Structure 1
């Protein structure tokens, strides 16, 4: 960590793992929050989207892993297919795991997730700073319906937003990849303009 609180480059010089936040106008509008972990994108559906305001605790429901290539997907998933609807890449970038054991040694990120609490620093085009995913309901609890539930929370660091909502309006949000809105991507697909 640098003196200004921002994590620095990895000591081994390897590239940082990626993250992506996609807005998905499916049966229910939601955000898909995805982190690269062990060669796949670990994924959570975040109904109200990630927030840069530490007082906003966002429900995050773990979903199936996705291939790394999916981080670039923007377009329309056809009716009849799982997850049908329009998708844009709202944010993208890299992240740095921040988990440490009691002796100060780094904890593998997959292990932090398995233990139910993972902290990380996002280097995105829109999201910046420290965030945490904390599991509060385990999938084998009777009331869980077989699904785990997590909270996605922004740390109260110097990059946090206070005094106003920290989440985007999904209908007016623009893609970090193309600058297009959900509506523009859907129109282009309907005209056959491609992605």
Structure 2
């Protein structure tokens, strides 16, 4: 049985602070920049901007990207784990790459911080990330506030930025 695909959420302090949601699909990390981070409230729709694919190895990257080029700044691994594809068409699973191409991808996260079902849906311009109503939904809990530290190093984004010398 193949291993479950991975996901990672990296907090990235580039031109603007944002969360990068990355999902393993066909050997790469499909990536969305989520400016306000994931929400556990099913009534909240978060903007998710589709970005370039990253290598699987990038899932463990933490540090400070030097210089002034696009993407420079501090990065921490805010959450990570595995996910299960739940995208179905006529009760048959649709593979993740096809789901993304079609503009709707539903998946269950099993991470250190995030759990439960989420969906990414393409709009005219970008994507929306939404928490699906399930036992893991919690409109009163904002993990971006209560859980600011890296799951790997234990550092906050500010502490990681301060390591640049």
Counterparts of 2:123 and 2:68 in 1: how far apart (Å)? 33
1:183 alignment partner, SS class: helix
Name the SS for the 1:177 alignment partner: coil
**Aligned-residue offset at 1:105:** 1.9
SS at match of 1:114: helix
Aligned counterparts of 2:5 and 2:160: Cα–Cα separation in 1: 27
Whole-angstrom CA distance in 1 between matches of 2:150 and 2:110: 16
- Residues 48 and 167 of structure 1 are in contact (CA less than 8 Å); yes or no, is this contact kept in structure 2? no
Unaligned runs of 5+ in 1: 1-12, 138-147, 191-195
The alignment partner of 1:63 has SS state of: strand
Report how many aligned residue pairs link the two structures: 165
Map 1:171-186; keep pairs closer than 5 Å. 173-186=148-161
Q: 1:60 and 1:173 mapped to 2: Cα distance?
A: 20
Where do 1:9-20 residues align within 5 Å? 13-20=1-8
Q: Could you tell me how far 1:121 is from its partner in structure 2?
A: 0.2
Return the TM-score normalized by structure 1: 0.81
Deviation above 6 Å: which 4+ runs of structure 1?
Answer: none
Report the CA distance between 1:169 and its aligned residue.
3.1
- Is 1:154 aligned to 2:131, yes or no? yes
Cα drift, residue 120 of structure 1: 0.2
Q: Distance in 1 between matches of 2:37 and 2:143?
A: 6
- Decide which of 114, 118, 131 is 1:131's aligned counterpart: 118
Q: Aligned ranges for residues 29-68 of structure 1 at < 5 Å?
A: 29-68=17-56
Larger radius of gyration: 1
Q: 2:106 matched to which residue of 1?
A: 119
Q: Is the 8 A contact 1:51 1:153 kept in 2?
A: yes
Greater strand proportion: 2
How much does 1:101 deviate? 1.9
> C-alpha displacement at 1:189, in angstroms?
3.0
Whether the 8 Å contact between 2:6 and 2:24 is mirrored in structure 1 is yes
Secondary structure of the corresponding residue to residue 169 of structure 1: helix
